[in-house]
Structure 1
Amino acid sequence: MNAEEQKVREEIVRIATRCYDRGLLVAGDGNISVRVAPNRVISTPSAVSKGWMTPEMMVTVDLEGRPLEPSEYKVSSEWPMHRVIYQARPDINAVVHAHPPHATGFAVAGLSLDKAILSEVVLTLGCVPLAAYGTPSTRELTDGIEPFLQYHDALLMANHGAVAYADTLEKAFNKLETLEHTCKISFIARTLGNENTIPDRAIEKLFDIRERNGAMRPEARYGQVCGYNPGLDPAEQNFEGDRITLSRDELLDLLTQSARILNGF
């Protein structure tokens, strides 16, 4: 183990302790990993409280979860989740999985964070979809998150928790913390009876800023789930066909007829 990898181990412990102290996970819940080479990853050990870990407890594995250095500890059984993220996103070097109370509450309630309610969140995180439930440590779990990985940097996992990932561990933690904070604000707004959203055109402007700042990959823009349709990727747009234009009276008449049909009149 070289000096750089020792620093990574210490950084993982620091972030894990921060997660524990802020109530983002408890006991042996959650797991954190950092990719230090294409096929070399340092990870938190299985079944150890994140509030009581030491750098020496970290395990070093390849992408298949096989140990690369002797250790009395084992990698988490949820390692396949980390592997599929690293394989899908070469730009990702750190993964943080935890069970933040408000974010996990959304996941248990079957709610995604699919509304753009805070401009800062659109700029730094984007909207967060809900991945289908999958039994931990099985292919079900990775199958549930895989469709979203190219377009999102954080996910809610149904009846489980949340995961965030980035090119650095600090950024991955920040995304997870932002997710939890936003879920808390959303919960408060819903409790008060109203959750106003940012207009579609304003969301597009925020995405433009995010792309210019290098915080969003161009291909991710058209996969964002933010409670509105950002349209097709310009490269895939098809302008064939005629546009249909209706007057106000024609539109009202059409809606009235539709309502009658739906109500059996």
Structure 2
Amino acid sequence: MNEKDIEGARVVVAEACRVAAARGLMEGILGHISFRVSHDLLLIRCRSADDTGVAYTRPSDIRLVRFDGTAGAPGELDNGYQVPKELPVHVESMRASPDIRAVAHLHPPSIVAADLAGISLRPIYGAYDIPGAVLARGGVPVYRRAVLIHRTQLGKEMVTAMGDRPVVICRGHGITSVASSVQQSVLQAASLEELARMSLAVVSAGGTLVDIDDADWEDLPDLGANFNTGAVWRHEVARAATV
């Protein structure tokens, strides 16, 4: 990527952080989103000495770093900027596949609560959120250690638990969502959080969680990237600006 592209990507990652915060997928100063620039460089939200939280992320908070946590260019870690301790979440996810360019490590409360309650996230609804239903149909794995993933070995363990799925629940912690784009990594997390919220509501009301009928999948079409990502992302960005 050239310098202009990197600056544009900073804006997108910062925007994604604000969207995730507005959606309640991460609170306060916890959580981070990254975007791969090259084989050993990524842009990632870093915390500065005057950090005011993910909801107020600025493009200048998105810093270029190497996979080993050092500055990716002169000045990138000046002015008190610190790389997240959980950098291995991002690095090991990206090392697992060249198709993974974006990683969102978030703390969605309903997902954490549902997992702790022993509720597996399954496709209990259809047209209410087709991408979310498809995501759940493939299964949502769980990394069962409630640890800070601050070491390479822990990052590798998490990636192993994730397998070939795009999202993994980190028990008692949060989730990691991977995708080819920053927008998709956040939207996957938002869909899964809504599914968890709905599952908890059904169980709390005394209901039973039942997967939709197999025959219904024929009439749950893929509405395409222009709708599922483009239109939805425009809404999320506009919504975040008003929260």
Q: TM-score range by the shorter chain?
A: 0.7 to 0.9
Residues of 2 paired with 1:44 and 1:79: CA distance?
A: 10
**Superposition map of 1:72-221 within 5 A:** 72=78, 73-113=81-121, 115-119=122-126, 120=130, 121-124=132-135, 126-136=138-148, 137-139=150-152, 141-192=154-205, 193-199=207-213, 201-202=214-215
Cα distance, 1:102–1:90 mapped onto 2, change above 3 Å: same
Q: How many positions carry a matched residue from both structures? A: 209
Q: How far did 1:112 drift? A: 3.7
Structure whose CA Rg is larger? 1
Per the alignment, residue 64 of structure 2 pairs with 60
Q: What's the secondary structure of 1:181's corresponding residue? A: helix
Q: Amino acid of the residue matched to residue 50 of structure 1? A: V
The two structures have a TM-score, normalised by structure 1, of 0.70
SS in structure 1 at match of 2:110: helix
In structure 2, distance between residues paired with 1:140 and 1:195:
36
| Distance (whole Å) between structure 2 residues aligned to residue 132 and residue 202 of structure 1 | 33
Question: What SS class does the counterpart of residue 51 from structure 1 fall into?
Answer: helix
Change (3 A) 1:150 1:129: closer
Q: Given residue 194 of structure 2, which amino acid in structure 1 is its aligned partner?
A: H
Corresponding residue for 1:251? Answer: none
2:31 is the alignment partner of 1:17: no
| Partner amino acid, structure 2, of 1:9 | R
Aligned 8 A contact 1:31 1:98 in 2: yes
Gaps of 5+ in 2: 226-243
- Unmatched 5+ stretches in structure 1: 215-265
Identity of aligned residues (%): 22
Q: Do residues 50 (structure 1) and 54 (structure 2) align?
A: yes
2:233 maps to: none
Contact 1:40 1:61 in 2 (8 A): yes
Q: Which 4+ runs in 1 deviate beyond 6 A?
A: 203-207
- CA–CA distance in 2 between the matches of 1:203 and 1:85? 33
Offset of 1:205 from its aligned partner? 6.5
3-state SS of 2:105 partner: strand
Q: Is the 8 A contact 1:93 1:166 kept in 2?
A: yes
